[in-house]
C-alpha cells in the first residue's frame, strides 16, 4: 500500500469517527450504487464503525447490474447492507406529477427527463435519512472534488448528506483509494454513471472528462473549450453549495 494514501485513508477514517462522536451519533450509513465513489465510502465507513455501519442498495427501475455490483461492493467490504426497491413508488409519483403538469401546459422532454432523474436521487436521500433517523446514524455522501466543483449532483438528492469524506479527492485519487481499499475490479472498471437514465455516463453528459477536470483542479493548463464548460457548470451550480438566499432585513 502506498504510504501517502495509507495515511490519508487512515486520517479520513479518524475524521469520520470524530464527526460521529461530535454529533452524538452511533454510526454511519451510505447509499451503494455499484459505482466507485460509493464503493470507496462504503469501505471507509466499515473501517470507522465495523459494527455500526450500513450500506443501502436502492434500485429504482435500475439495471440488474447495479444491484449485483452493489452487493459485490458491500460483500467485499464486509459491510452490512439492505436492498430497498422504490421503483413502483417512483413510477406512481412521476406519473401523478406529469398528469398535473400536463394540465397546466406542455413540459419538454428534456425537463421531464431531468425531473424523473432527480426524483430518483431525492427518493434515495429520503430513504437513507429514514434509516439514519431510526438508527442514530449520520448520512455519508460520496461526492468527489470534481463533482463538488462542477455541481454535478442533485440538490437535496445525492447532495443531501451530513458528511462528505471524499470531497477533497480528485477522481484519479478515488481510483487509487479504491485499489488500496480492495474494491472489486469490476467496479473500478465501470464508466462513472449517475444511473439516472439508460446509458447515462457522467462524461457524456458533462461534455468533459474527469481526467480534464482533475487537471483543471490541479491548476494545470487545459483546452479553452473544456475550461469554459467547467467554469460554467461551477457558476450555474453555486446555489447548490450554499444555504438558500435569505433577505437581509
Ligand X SMILES: Nc1ncnc2c1ncn2[C@@H]1O[C@H](COP(=O)(O)OP(=O)(O)OP(=O)(O)O)[C@@H](O)[C@H]1O
Ligand Y SMILES: Nc1ncnc2c1ncn2[C@@H]1O[C@H](COP(=O)(O)OP(=O)(O)OC[C@H]2O[C@@H]([n+]3cccc(C(=O)O)c3)[C@H](O)[C@@H]2O)[C@@H](O)[C@H]1O
Handedness of CA 81, 53, 141, 161 (dihedral sign): positive
> Stretches 11-19, 35-43, 148-156, 206-214: which one binds Mg ion (CB under 5 A)?
35-43
Q: Does residue 69 belong to the site contacting ligand X (CB under 6 A)? A: no
| Least spacing, CB of residue 94 vs ligand Y, in Å | 14
> Stretches 19-27, 56-64, 165-173, 193-201: which one binds Mg ion (CB under 5 A)?
193-201
Q: Is 239 annotated as a binding residue?
A: yes
Q: Does residue 222 belong to the site contacting ligand X (CB under 6 A)? A: no
Q: Does residue 33 belong to the site contacting ligand X (CB under 6 A)? A: yes
What's the CA gap between 108 and 86, in Å, rounded? 25
CA 155 vs. chain centroid, Å, equals 11
Residue count, binding to ligand Y (CB under 6 A):
16
> Stretches 42-50, 92-100, 113-121, 125-133: which one binds ligand Y (CB under 6 A)?
113-121
- Closest residue by Cα to residue 20 from 177, 168, 147, 165: 165
Element containing residue 30 per DSSP (H, E): strand 27-31
Q: Does residue 118 belong to the site contacting ligand Y (CB under 6 A)? A: yes
Answer for the pair 240, 147: CB distance below 8 angstroms, yes or no.
no
- Closest residue by Cα to residue 66 from 39, 101, 106, 45: 39
Residue numbers belonging to the annotated binding site for Mg(2+): 37, 147
Q: Binding site residues for ATP, as ranges?
A: 31-38, 142, 171, 193
Amino acid at each position: 500500500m502506498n504510504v501517502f494514501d495509507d495515511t490519508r485513508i487512515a486520517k479520513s477514517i479518524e475524521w469520520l469517527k470524530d464527526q460521529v462522536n461530535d454529533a452524538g451519533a452511533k454510526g454511519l450509513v451510505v447509499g451503494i450504487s455499484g459505482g466507485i465513489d460509493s464503493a470507496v465510502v462504503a469501505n471507509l465507513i466499515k473501517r470507522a464503525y465495523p459494527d455500526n455501519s450500513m450500506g443501502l442498495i436502492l434500485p429504482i427501475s435500475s439495471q440488474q447490474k447495479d444491484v449485483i455490483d452493489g452487493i459485490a461492493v458491500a460483500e467485499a467490504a464486509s459491510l452490512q447492507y439492505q436492498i430497498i426497491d422504490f421503483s413502483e413508488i417512483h413510477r406512481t409519483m412521476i406519473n401523478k406529477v406529469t398528469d398535473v403538469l400536463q394540465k397546466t401546459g406542455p413540459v419538454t422532454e428534456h425537463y421531464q427527463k431531468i425531473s424523473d432523474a432527480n426524483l430518483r436521487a431525492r427518493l434515495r436521500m429520503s430513504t437513507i435519512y429514514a434509516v439514519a433517523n431510526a438508527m442514530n446514524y449520520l448520512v455519508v455522501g460520496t461526492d468527489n472534488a470534481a463533482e463538488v466543483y462542477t455541481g454535478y449532483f442533485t440538490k437535496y438528492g445525492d447532495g443531501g448528506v451530513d458528511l462528505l469524506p471524499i470531497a477533497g479527492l480528485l477522481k484519479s485519487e478515488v481510483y487509487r483509494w479504491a485499489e488500496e481499499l480492495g474494491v472489486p475490479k469490476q467496479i473500478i472498471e465501470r464508466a462513472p454513471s449517475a444511473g439516472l437514465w439508460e446509458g447515462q455516463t457522467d462524461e457524456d453528459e458533462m461534455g468533459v472528462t474527469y481526467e480534464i477536470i482533475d487537471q483543471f483542479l490541479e491548476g494545470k493548463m487545459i483546452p479553452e473549450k473544456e475550461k469554459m464548460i467547467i467554469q460554467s457548470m461551477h457558476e450555474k451550480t453555486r446555489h447548490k453549495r450554499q444555504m438558500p438566499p435569505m433577505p437581509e432585513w
